[in-house]
């Protein structure tokens, strides 16, 4: 079984969290288990760290920042333990617009502290805020101090070009590839910046919320979108992931 990549999935929001982790492991899905609050870190760390294919990410979701004022301190305290960070970022959609100032302050702290500690890999949310996210990244997390993967990117073509110039990668899901706008954006990105994701359980799979084992759906749509054979795309994604995180260059690789 060829390994696949799901670089943004909320494993802990599935009712059968432990089973999903085991599934990623059995089916060889390199999975980034993003979280929404630092209070979820320990449980994710306990379940994911012993695996070969699943890594937990320390999160502070922009949609929760307004209601959870104490999370930032907890997040900062745990940061030295985490290599992967997410889900973090900004969200200016109508339901979350009122907390945007607070979100910006929190995201700025997140970027500054990641920059100080160095070597972090971030999965970043940027709904209706791509330009602000890129401005803050440019100011507070210079390229060599950390790596950013923009998750479910929905900015403009111009914002995408700027993100590429700033060194960002993009994790692409099946929903993004369902419409022509998303497909044309994805086609505009350099192929060596692409990763796949499910964003389960927030996307629909074949039979309920999409699980990492279904990331093949994303892979097939992405292959069609950019004109690759599936096997070529498999190789490309593993190469891209290896370039991002190190340690993966072959079937024998592990997620470090």
Residues 6+ apart with CB under 8 A from 111: 136, 137, 140, 141, 146
Task: Give 45 or 126: the residue with its C-beta nearer to Mn ion.
Answer: 126
Task: Give 199 or 214: the residue with its C-beta nearer to Mn ion.
Answer: 199
Per rule CB under 5 A, count of chain residues that contact Mn ion:
2
Structure tokens at 3: 């390994």
Give the nearest distance from C-beta 105 to Mn ion in angstroms.
21
Give which of 84, 54, 53, 6 is closest to 251, Cα–Cα.
53
Residues 6+ apart with CB under 8 A from 50: none
Give the nearest distance from C-beta 202 to Mn ion in angstroms.
6
Give which of 112, 199, 124, 116 is closest to 163, Cα–Cα.
124
Q: Which of residues 29-88 bind Mn ion (CB under 5 A)?
A: 87
Give the nearest distance from C-beta 62 to Mn ion in angstroms.
10
Give the nearest distance from C-beta 123 to Mn ion in angstroms.
8
Residues 6+ apart with CB under 8 A from 191: 226, 228, 236
Give the nearest distance from C-beta 232 to Mn ion in angstroms.
28
Residue 205: in which H helix or E strand, if any? strand 204-205
Q: Which of residues 197-216 bind Mn ion (CB under 5 A)?
A: 199
Which of the stretches 21-29, 71-79, 161-169, 195-203 binds Mn ion when contact is defined by CB under 5 A?
Answer: 195-203
Task: Give 65 or 223: the residue with its C-beta nearer to Mn ion.
Answer: 65
Give the nearest distance from C-beta 35 to Mn ion in angstroms.
10
Task: Give 23 or 87: the residue with its C-beta nearer to Mn ion.
Answer: 87
Would you give the binding string for Mn ion spanning residues 142-181, x where CB under 5 A is met?
----------------------------------------
Structure tokens at 102: 């607070």
Radius of gyration of the chain (CA): 17
Task: Give 71 or 199: the residue with its C-beta nearer to Mn ion.
Answer: 199
Task: Give 87 or 91: the residue with its C-beta nearer to Mn ion.
Answer: 87
Task: Give 99 or 198: the residue with its C-beta nearer to Mn ion.
Answer: 198
Give CA–CA dist 50/255, Å, rounded: 11
CA distances from 71 to 39, 108, 115, 155, 173 (A): 8, 14, 19, 28, 28
Give the nearest distance from C-beta 1 to Mn ion in angstroms.
26
Give CA–CA dist 90/34, Å, rounded: 15
Q: Which residues are near Mn ion by CB under 5 A?
A: 87, 199
């Amino acid at each position: 079984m060829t390994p696949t990549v799901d670089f943004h999935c909320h494993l802990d929001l599935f009712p059968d969290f432990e089973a999903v982790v085991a599934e990623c492991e059995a089916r060889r899905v390199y999975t980034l288990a993003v979280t929404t609050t630092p209070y979820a870190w320990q449980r994710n760390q306990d379940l994911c760290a012993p695996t070969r294919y699943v890594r937990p990410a320390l999160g502070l979701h922009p949609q929760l920042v307004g209601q959870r004022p104490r999370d930032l301190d907890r997040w900062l305290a745990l940061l030295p333990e985490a290599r992967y960070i997410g889900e973090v970022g900004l969200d200016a959609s109508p339901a979350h617009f009122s907390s945007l100032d607070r979100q910006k302050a929190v995201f700025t702290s997140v970027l500054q502290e990641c920059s100080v500690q160095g070597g972090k890999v971030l999965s970043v949310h940027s709904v209706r805020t791509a330009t602000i996210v890129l401005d803050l990244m440019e100011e507070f997390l210079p390229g060599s101090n950390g790596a950013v993967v923009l998750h479910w990117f929905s900015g403009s073509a111009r914002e995408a070009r700027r993100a590429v110039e700033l060194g960002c990668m993009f994790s692409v899901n099946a929903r993004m590839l369902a419409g022509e706008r998303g497909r044309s954006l994805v086609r505009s990105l350099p192929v060596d910046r692409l990763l796949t994701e499910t964003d389960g359980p927030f996307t629909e799979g074949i039979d309920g919320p999409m699980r990492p084992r279904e990331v093949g759906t994303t892979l097939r749509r992405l292959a069609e979108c950019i004109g690759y054979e599936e096997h070529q795309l498999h190789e490309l994604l593993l190469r891209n992931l290896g370039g991002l995180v190190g340690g993966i260059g072959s079937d024998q690789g592990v997620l470090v």
